[in-house]
Amino acid sequence: MDDVHQRIPSLSIPLQFVGVKGVKMPVAFVKFGGRPHFTLPVFDAYINLPSTMKGIHASRHYEVIAEVISQFAMKSGKLEDICEKIAVKLLERHEYASKSYVKARGEVVFESHVESSDLVSFEPCTMIGRAWARRARDSIETRKAIGVSVKGMTACPCALEYVREKVKNFLERPSTDKVPLATHVQRVTGTIVIEVPHGYELDAMRLVGIIQRSMSSPTYGLLKRSDEGEIICRAVSNPKFAEDVIRSMIQGVVEEFWDFPNSTFFECHVRSEESIHKHDLVAKQRGTIGEFRDLAS
């Protein structure tokens, strides 16, 4: 049978990314926080396509993903390593491609302790794995990255200043430090994705800690009334814009991974689900650790 994919296209234009998106795989065990966790991974996998080919052999993408996942059956592995193996195999299977890119995401649930009461709460976290591969003479070079998305909360500094001034004027007091104040709060999702240089190890739980410390307060699935009060007081006493959160995340990355090379790439993303607006607020930043070492100190 004639292979239509191998035909020369009517427009000889090379394509940077062609592949499959949203490929769901069975349960995998990923290393997180020093122990294996269950996740249902979803993969996006791409290769480049030369101008001399009409299309890719898409079924090979699915086959490669399934083969690699089967290698990790009943044993744990890092999500970024799984992506790296898929990226390499894509180039081995698609001899006409010179580059590949793989992205994976999956939710894990980890045990957390509520600070005030020490209750055990189980918190969701989205893990993100990425890998790039390219042909280099007689070998295949790779890069990989790991990331997490975690929810927390912020208290608005702007509204808090307004309320503080109103209370001060109303009570005619020189100081309002002991007066209960209020502001609007938001559910905020923080995301960090960072390159894992060759020869280095990174537990994604460290990224969770950076994000949680950057918020006005973490949030929890299980809270008693006293816990709720403590969290609100903590958040209001530590008001932050989304811009403040992302700056704290950048500083946290630079300080936490002080021993990583200056060329280590990372990106941060914050999405604030606004409580008194019908729209959300977003802040993003990307760069290398070296670019932010002086700025974040």
Q: Which residues contact 190 (CB under 8 A, 6 or more apart)?
A: 149, 150, 151, 152, 211, 214, 215, 245, 246, 249, 268, 269, 270
- Taking CA atoms, 157 is separated from 57, 98, 236, 248, in Å, by 53, 50, 8, 15
CA atoms within 13 A on the CB side of 75: 6
Contact in structure between 47 and 99 (CB atoms under 8 Å): yes
Task: Report pLDDT for 29.
Answer: 82
Q: What is the pLDDT along the chain (297 residues), one digit of tens a residue?
A: 566 677 787 798 999 999 999 999 987 788 888 888 889 999 999 999 999 989 888 899 999 999 999 988 767 889 999 999 999 999 999 999 999 999 999 999 988 888 778 788 899 999 999 999 999 988 999 999 999 999 999 998 887 776 667 666 655 555 545 555 678 899 999 999 999 999 999 999 999 999 999 999 999 888 888 888 888 888 888 999 999 999 999 999 999 999 999 999 999 999 999 988 999 999 999 999 999 998 866
pLDDT of residue 2: 60
pLDDT at 98: 96
Residue 141 lies in a domain: no
Last residue of a domain, one of 136, 164, 186: 136
Is the sign of the CA dihedral 59, 79, 258, 191 positive or negative? positive
Task: Note if the pTM is more than 0.85.
Answer: yes
CATH for 246: 3.10.270.10
Same domain, 18 and 80: yes
Domains contained in the chain, number = 2
Structural domain containing residue 20: 1-136
d(CA 45, CA 51): 20
Give backbone dihedrals phi and psi of 128, rounded to 5 degrees, phi first.
Answer: -130, 130
To which residue do tokens 């007066």 refer? Answer: 179
- Let me know whether 192 and 238 are in one domain: yes
pLDDT of residue 196: 98
> For 285, what's the count of Cα atoms within 13 Å in the CB-facing half-sphere?
16
Q: 46: burial class by Cβ within 10 Å (0-12, 13-18, 19+)?
A: buried
Q: How far apart are CA 33 and CA 8, in angstroms?
A: 50
Q: How far is CA 104 from the centre of its chain?
A: 11
Q: Please, which residues have CB within 8 angstroms of residue 98's CB and are 6 or more apart in sequence?
A: 48, 91, 134, 135
Q: Is residue 142 part of a domain?
A: no
Judge if 238 and 97 occupy the same domain. Answer: no
Q: For residue 226, give both structure tokens.
A: 């006293």
